[in-house]
Amino acid sequence: MSETNGFEPKIVAYVCNWCTYLGADLAGTNRLEYPPNVRLIRLPCTGRIDFNLIVKAFEMSADAVLVSGCHPGDCHYTAGNYHARRRWMLFRPLLEALGFDLRRIHFTWISAAEGRKFQQVIAEITESARKLGPYRPYEANGESKWRPAGLPPPKRRSGDDASLRTTARELLAEGKAGVVIGRGERGPVLARKPEDADRLTWNGASKIALTAYLKRKEVRALGKPAIVAGPADLRALNVLEQESQIRREDIHVIAAEGPGAAPPDFSDLDALLQLEPGERMAYWAGEFDRCVKCYACRQACPLCYCERCIVDKNRPQAIDTSAHARGNFAWHITRAFHLAGRCVGCGACTRACPAGIDLRLLNQAAARAAERQFGYRAGADPKAEPLVGVYSLTDKEEFIG
């Protein structure tokens, strides 16, 4: 028996209709043989290849995945592949933090004239997957002993509670605000009458990011909101405005004097990345095993504001709603990737999770990639363009073959 013990890998290739698919076709018409292990799935453009499809392929026992489209400059839709490249640059670090084996995820540009390249790429990927053996990441046993240090204690705001209450009372009494959203000793406070302002304090508690209340219809119905904002809230407001979800002139912001936004602390993520991929996967498998899909992470997040979340859609059903390993991985990968280039590091997802899962680590994987690869920090510059949604011709592509 060979060193691969007769194992034949299953490879899923998502290819764009206009280049790689035609490259595969050319390989066929030229009688260029390539291994039959690959299942080609034709999509209109790499810009339309949802990252969920990569995850889905592994859910369905693929041993390797290829995503391939037109060379830069050749996209049939002008820039679909540039947008895709940028998303991949953020998606790969997220998969890495989760412990996926990046040797099994391939990206290439193959044109309609490159039948020979298509043949070679498929042969190489098949050979490498054969050597790596079967891939069953979701069967990780969840027995990692590694634990993150966890969220640092919140920084104390130096504002004076008396003047905060006076400001809030005046805004409500004069009708300049219909509601003041802030923190109280025991949780969030939505002050609607002047006397409610006495419950506000700068250093109160809230598991939910206060800016998350701005998306709620029942809060919007209360009239112009005022919000008691800390550094993460200010960044979230900037992102929400970038994404046309709010207009700053429609919101009264009460911000404390004191320390501004501290540089992000990626030390837990760094420690996680020191582990072997298999152990990272085992860590997350153990964590997600406790997830009951309550979606508290989504509700607490200031930047999860879709009217209808992808997880609630069932035509097609992109994410399995059951609380088992596959569904939980798919949900948390999706949530984290939807926050790529947007998460402001408020930690609300971690605080809100009743199962104690430190979800901020996943958001940090993309946030750190955004900082390192693009010098971009979500919400730090209100004038900056959103990171995902634009692209640059100079985006790095050393991982694309």
Indicate the residue among 118 and 283 with the shorter CB distance to ligand FES: 118
With respect to ligand FES, which residue has the nearer C-beta, 81 or 350?
Answer: 81
Q: How far is the CB of 81 from ligand FES (least distance, A)?
A: 4
Quote the least distance from Cβ 47 to ligand FES, whole Å: 6
Residue whose CB is less far from ligand FES, 77 or 374: 77
Provide, rounded to whole angstroms, the least separation between the CB of residue 21 and ligand FES.
Answer: 9
Identify which of residues 71 and 220 has a Cβ nearer to ligand FES in the complex: 71
CB of 35 to ligand FES, least distance (A): 23
Q: Residue 70 or 89: which CB sits closer to ligand FES?
A: 70
Q: Choose between 92 and 165: whose C-beta lies nearer to ligand FES.
A: 92
Taking the complex as a whole, the smallest distance from the CB of residue 108 to ligand FES amounts, in Å, to 11
Residue 119 contacts residue 28 (beta carbons within 8 Å):
no
Quick one: 16 or 311, whose CB is closer to ligand FES?
A: 16
Give the footprint of ligand FES on this chain (CB under 6 A): 16, 18-19, 45-47, 69-70, 75-77, 80-81
Asked if 352 and 299 touch (Cβ cutoff 8 Å), the reply is yes
For residue 120, the minimal CB distance to ligand FES (Å) is 19
CB of 106 to ligand FES, least distance (A): 15
